Amino acid sequence: MSNYSYEKKFDVVIIGAGVIGCSIAYFLAKESDGKLKVGVIERNTVGEESSSGAAGMLAAQVECDHESPFLRLALQSRELFRSLAPDLKERTGVEIGYMPSGILSLAYTLEQDEELKNRLLWQKQSGLECEWWTDSQVSSQFPFLEKSYRAGFWAPQEGQVSSSRLALAFSESAKKMGVEFFEYESFDSVNLQNERLDFVETNVSKFIAGKFIFATGSWTGKLLNGLVPVEPVKGQILIFQMPEKWPWRNQWESPVYAGKTPGHDPISCYFVPKMDGHIFLGATMENRGFDKSENKTATQKMADYATQIFPDLASFPFKGVWVGLRPGSPDGLPLMGLVPGKQNVYVASGHFRNGVLLAPVTGKLFSDLIVRENHSALQPFS
């Protein structure tokens, strides 16, 4: 065993300082009134991986295909942003870019039309607020889009945030409440032979704790020796810059889901306008392990499709491509709670495309679990 000049002792150690890990740190500190000593280990810097470039959509209704515990979890988390945004701003001065300005999902084919009508039907039956927009209604609100769509599904309670700013606001708030962050500390594996984990050793130091929470995204399965089935799914986003006067003429705030690219291996595309004038065009899904290189064929396919349905985009400055890894699970649902066979090792991963949306509720549920020993809400995602 390596020799260490010092050891770090905590009640709870969180591994991973993405938006999920930072949310858990924030809620643990807040709900325990600072009584818990919490440490966060990050192998790079806070929010550097998926949280640095995610589109940040709060798309509970648009992303869900049926009534389920996952939908209710997503709706609960979406609602938390209403009080969370001003609280984080007051604590840190960080504006997370919260805009509950709705999300539109467009139908370009008969199949997509029927799919969205079915979504409208079951969501109205579930008491959710949503509307069916005709092509003329879409045109009046989004006149810059080519009129090749048939109709649209409008969810007015949806919205967006800045994923990078959210991770920053969570971490800075947590620090103000006593949480300690340790960047550039890493390890490749952990000894899980016993029912309890007493410590983890990084390249710098030794962390001793009563409880360990792995919020390690796409690396969770690897770090936990396959005990948790989380694998990386590569996604890439194209970033454009709106010309200076264009936003003022068009007043565009709401993300738009814009169908799929034609032909082989279709890509579901969306546009997300940001407060700083950027437009995020996403997003691919590829099972390529930990490969984060750009798929230039996919870049071209997305750009060609996007400029056909949003002609102005062809003249917007192209700022580059962001590539990240989403933590995928076998059933597409988050994996949260105790690792099987372990007494004090928890996991908060597998959030896939919804890490930003689910960050607040994940932090809240883990604070309930650790502070109040309430496990029930996590049962559907064990």
DSSP code string of 111-180: HHHHHHHHHHHHHHHTT---EEEEHHHHHHH-TTS-S---EEEEETT-EE--HHHHHHHHHHHHHHTT-E
Q: Do the beta carbons of residue 99 and residue 253 sit within 8 Å?
A: yes
Whole-angstrom Cα distance, residue 377 to residue 373? Answer: 11
Average pLDDT, the chain: 94
pLDDT confidence bin for 374, thresholds 50/70/90: confident
What proportion of the chain, given as a percentage, has pLDDT over 90?
89
pLDDT confidence bin for 158, thresholds 50/70/90: very high
- The per-residue pLDDT for 6 is 80
Q: At CB < 8 A and 24+ separation, what contacts does 116-119 make?
A: 116/151, 116/152, 116/153, 119/61, 119/65, 119/153
What proportion of the chain, given as a percentage, has pLDDT over 70?
99
Give the strand order in the sheet containing 103-107. Answer: 131-134, 151-155, 103-107, 256-260, 268-273, 278-282, 231-241, 318-328
**H-assigned helices in 32-134:** 60-63, 69-92, 110-125
Q: Do the beta carbons of residue 163 and residue 356 sit within 8 Å?
A: yes
* pLDDT per residue as tens digits for the range 7-58: 999 999 999 999 999 999 999 999 999 899 999 999 999 998 888 888 999 9
* pLDDT per residue as tens digits for the range 314-325: 999 999 999 999
- The per-residue pLDDT for 4 is 53
Whole-angstrom Cα distance, residue 234 to residue 327? Answer: 9
**pLDDT at 2 exceeding the cut of 60:** no
Whole-angstrom Cα distance, residue 382 to residue 372? Answer: 18
Q: How far is CA 19 from CA 22, 53, 363, in A?
A: 5, 11, 10
- The per-residue pLDDT for 52 is 83
Q: Which residues pair with 236 in a beta bridge?
A: 323
- The per-residue pLDDT for 1 is 44
- The per-residue pLDDT for 5 is 58
Closest Cα to residue 353, out of 251, 257, 278? 257
Q: Residues 6 or more apart from 332 whose CB is under 8 A from it?
A: 352
pLDDT confidence bin for 3, thresholds 50/70/90: low
Determine the average pLDDT of the residues in 204-216: 96
- The per-residue pLDDT for 300 is 96
Whole-angstrom Cα distance, residue 63 to residue 61? Answer: 6
Which stretch of DSSP H or E encloses residue 231? Answer: strand 231-241
Handedness of CA 364, 365, 370, 371 (dihedral sign): positive
Backbone angles phi, psi at 160, to 5 degrees: -160, 165
- The per-residue pLDDT for 377 is 80
The residue that leads in pLDDT, 265 or 12, is: 12
Determine the average pLDDT of the residues in 64-91: 96
Residue 325, burial from CB neighbour count under 10 angstroms (0-12, 13-18, 19+) = buried
**pLDDT at 274 exceeding the cut of 70:** yes
- The per-residue pLDDT for 382 is 84
Determine the average pLDDT of the residues in 280-296: 95
Q: How far is CA 110 from CA 149, 302, 304, in A?
A: 10, 22, 22
Q: Could you say which DSSP state residue 58 is in?
A: E
